Amino acid sequence: MNTKNICLARACLPVAAVIAIAAFTGCSREEAPAPLPPTPVSVITVTQQTIPFVPSFVAQTESSQQVDIVPRVSGFLDKIAYLEGELVKEGQILFQLDPKPFQAQLEAARGGLQAQQARHTTAAANLNRVRPLAQQNALPQSDLDRAQGEFDSSKAAVYSAQAKVTESELNLGYTTIRSPVTGLTGRSLQREGAYINSLGASARLTYVAAVDPIWVNFSVSQNALSRFKEMIAKNQMLPPKDGNYEVEVVMPDGAVYPYKGKINFADPSFSQETGTFLVRAVLPNPKRDLRPGMFVTALLKGSVRPDAVVVPQLAVQQGSNGHLVYVVNESGVAEIRPVVVGDYFGERDIVIMSGLRDGDRVVVDNILKVVPGQPVKIGEPKANPADQGQEPQKKQSEKK
């Protein structure tokens, strides 16, 4: 091998080695992991608007007029004239006491009245005879005075006898016991044939409870009242004009009672035992769906929340320091936003008292896969939950 070929071989050897080393190194190097795709999410855009503010209270129904049926006279109970537990009309007969003793007393009183009327007639005739003779001095003045006294006494006796007749007629009428109101009846506490002492323990016979209209009572605590006043002071709640609230009732099975009512009484003082004051509403009850003593839910309607922010309940998470939501910024990156929550709105939404503002985009699904500080992929935008099913009202600032 000549010198030229030796040199060429030596020059080629390092190049091949370098290629081999490079190839080996390239095969053993791991490829860099591909970045994770953005998490697909749906968002709502926050819009402040006016929504109803409807506080709820546990309530109980009460008869608007419950009357205990008590006889005014004593006697034996002849007949129970109503179906226990059924509706009775005003003036309908409930019980009948034995009227015969009272009929006899009435006849005696009428006889006494006729006797006194006859005496009065005689006294009047005697006075008419004595007066002119006394005026002519044909009779002494004492005779005139005596005749006048007999006349006045007989006249008073007629009034007394007439009063006894009236009393006897009333007592006879009291033997027929009628319902003073239209309402539902209770069971009879006495049976036919029992002696009823109007002044004794057996005097109460039953009761009649008026149910149309019906009362709904609920209590408001000191804390709730203070909270309402604070919300009004901060313009977070606007009460209805003149406090004209409307009361809606939700039945125990969740059905909404079809008739609404108005508040007709609020206790001026708090109870020392419970720290609450009583509020009473009156509602129509033509079908008697509400019975006295039922527990229901009373919804107080008429107030509104101006400039409120509402999001789905599922969008709100519980963190170690309170509630939070995920907000997507302008760069499409998810951020944690602490919020203060208020009352529930509807069945699925909740009011945000602070932490969100107009234009914020809040993540409402796939929340568990969202990583703070990482980009997300926004799908189809969702409507603000407060907009669904109702036309949003204008903000108070726009009205001004």
The verdict on 266 and 294 lying in the same domain is: yes
Indicate whether 217 and 296 sit together in one domain: yes
**Same-domain check for residues 75 and 186:** yes
Residue 356 lies in a domain: yes
Confidence of residue 16 (pLDDT cuts 50, 70, 90): very low
Helical (H) or strand (E) element with 98: none
> 223 with 297, same domain?
yes
How confident is the model at residue 64, as a pLDDT?
94
pLDDT of 28 strictly over 90:
no
Statement to judge: residues 320 and 373 lie in one domain? yes
CATH number for the domain spanning 337: value is: 2.40.420.20
Query: For residue 400, is pLDDT > 50?
Result: no
Mean pLDDT of the chain: 86
Q: Domain total for the chain?
A: 4
Q: What is the DSSP letter of 39?
A: E
* 198, 293: one domain: no
Question: What digits encode the pLDDT tens for the residues 33-60?
Answer: 666 788 899 999 999 989 999 999 999 9
Q: Do 215 and 299 share a domain, yes or no? A: yes
User: Is it the case that residue 13 has pLDDT exceeding 90?
Assistant: no
* 18 falls within a domain: no
Burial of 250 (0-12, 13-18, 19+ CB in 10 A): middle
Element (H, E) at 382: none
pLDDT tops 70 at residue 14: no
Enclosing domain of residue 228: 56-63+210-304
Q: What's the pLDDT score for residue 38?
A: 87
Q: Is residue 3 part of a domain?
A: no
pLDDT-derived band at 284, boundaries 50, 70, 90: very high
The domain that holds 238 is classified in CATH as 2.40.30.170
Q: Is residue 138 part of a domain?
A: yes
Cα(92)–Cα(76) distance, integer angstroms: 20
Q: Is residue 26 part of a domain?
A: no
| 340: Cβ contacts below 8 Å, ≥ 6 apart | 322, 323, 352, 353, 354, 355
Structural element, H or E, at residue 138: none
- pTM tops 0.85: no
pLDDT, residue 102, reads 96
Same domain, 241 and 195: no
Collapse the DSSP code of 145 into the 3-class scheme (helix H, G, I; strand E, B; otherwise coil) and give the result. helix
135 pLDDT band (50/70/90 cuts)? Answer: confident
**pLDDT of 394 higher than 80:** no
Would you say residue 15 has pLDDT above 90? Answer: no
Query: Tens of pLDDT along 208-247?
Result: 999 999 999 999 999 999 999 998 998 889 999 888 899 9
pLDDT, position 106: 96
Question: Which of 304, 326, 353 delimits the end of a domain?
Answer: 304
